[in-house]
Amino acid sequence: MRLLTTVAALRCYLNKLRSESQLTFPEDLVADEISSWDRTAVGLVPTMGGLHQGHLNLIKRARQENSTVIVSIFVNPLQFGPNEDYARYPRTLEQDQKLCENAGVDAIFAPTPEVMGVPAKNIQESLITQVIPPSAMILGLCGRSRLGHFQGVATIVTKLLNLVQPDRAYFGQKDGQQLAIIQRLVTDLNLPVEIVACPTVREASGLAFSSRNQYLSATEKEQAAVLYRGLKKAEAAFKSGVHNSNQLIAVVKQEVAGVSTVLVEYIELVEPTTLMSLETIEEEGMLAIAARLGSTRLIDNIILRDRQPIIAIDGPAGAGKSTVARQVAAELGLVYLDTGAMYRAMTWLVVQKGVALDDECAIAELAHTCKIELTPSPDLKSPVRVWIDDVDITQEIRTVEVTSKVSAISAQSAVRQALVKQQQNWGKKGGLVAEGRDIGSHVFPDAEVKIFLTASVTERARRRQQDFQKQGQPEVSLEQLERDIAERDWKDSTRKVSPLQKAADAVELQTDGMNISEVAAQIINYFHQRLSQF
> Tens digits of per-residue pLDDT, 277-290?
999 999 899 999 99
Q: Using one digit for the tens of pLDDT, what is the confidence trace for 395-415?
A: 899 888 898 888 889 888 889
Mean pLDDT over residues 293-304, rounded?
Answer: 95
List strands edge to edge, sheet with 194-198.
2-4, 107-109, 68-73, 42-47, 168-172, 194-198
Mean pLDDT over residues 75-87, rounded?
Answer: 89
Query: Which residues does residue 386 pair with via DSSP β-bridges, in sequence order?
Result: 374
Regarding predicted confidence, which is higher, 339 or 220? 220
pLDDT band at 495 (very low <50, low <70, confident <90, very high): low
Mean pLDDT over residues 134-161, rounded?
Answer: 95
Mean pLDDT over residues 204-210, rounded?
Answer: 95
Predicted local distance difference test score (pLDDT) of residue 30: 42
Q: What is the mean pLDDT of the chain?
A: 89
pLDDT band at 36 (very low <50, low <70, confident <90, very high): very low
In whole angstroms, what is the distance from residue 249 CA to residue 287 CA?
Answer: 8
Residue 224 pLDDT exceeds 60: yes
Predicted local distance difference test score (pLDDT) of residue 123: 66
Query: Residue 440 has what DSSP assignment?
Result: I
Mean pLDDT over residues 66-92, rounded?
Answer: 91
Residue 523 pLDDT exceeds 90: yes
pLDDT band at 319 (very low <50, low <70, confident <90, very high): confident
Residue 37 pLDDT exceeds 60: no
Query: Which residues does residue 42 pair with via DSSP β-bridges, in sequence order?
Result: 68
Q: What is the DSSP string of 491-520?
A: HHHHBSSS-----TTPEEEE-TT--HHHHH
- Of the listed ranges 36-45, 281-290, 416-425, 457-466, the one predicted with least confidence: 36-45
In whole angstroms, what is the distance from residue 89 CA to residue 215 CA?
Answer: 9
pLDDT band at 142 (very low <50, low <70, confident <90, very high): very high
In whole angstroms, what is the distance from residue 228 CA to residue 234 CA?
Answer: 10
Predicted local distance difference test score (pLDDT) of residue 247: 97
Query: Residue 360 has what DSSP assignment?
Result: H
What backbone phi and psi angles, to 5 degrees, belong to 450?
A: -125, 125
Instruction: Write the burial class of residue 312 (CB in 10 Å: 0-12 exposed, 13-18 middle, 19+ buried).
Output: buried
pLDDT band at 32 (very low <50, low <70, confident <90, very high): very low
Mean pLDDT over residues 324-333, rounded?
Answer: 91
Choose, from 55, 149, 442, 528, the residue flagged as catalytic: 55
Residue 271 DSSP SS3: coil
Residues ≥6 apart with Cβ < 8 Å to 427: 310, 337, 434, 443, 444
Mean pLDDT over residues 6-12, rounded?
Answer: 96
Q: What is the DSSP string of 145-178?
A: TSTTHHHHHHHHHHHHHHHH--SEEEEETTSHHH
Q: Using one digit for the tens of pLDDT, what is the confidence trace for 176-192?
A: 999 999 999 999 999 99
Residue 378 pLDDT exceeds 70: no
Residues ≥6 apart with Cβ < 8 Å to 378: none
Regarding predicted confidence, which is higher, 327 or 319? 327
Residue 509 pLDDT exceeds 50: yes
Known catalytic residue: 55?
A: yes
Predicted local distance difference test score (pLDDT) of residue 381: 61
Query: Around Cβ 223, how many Cβ atoms within 10 Å?
Result: 19
Predicted local distance difference test score (pLDDT) of residue 525: 93
Query: Which residues does residue 464 pair with via DSSP β-bridges, in sequence order?
Result: none
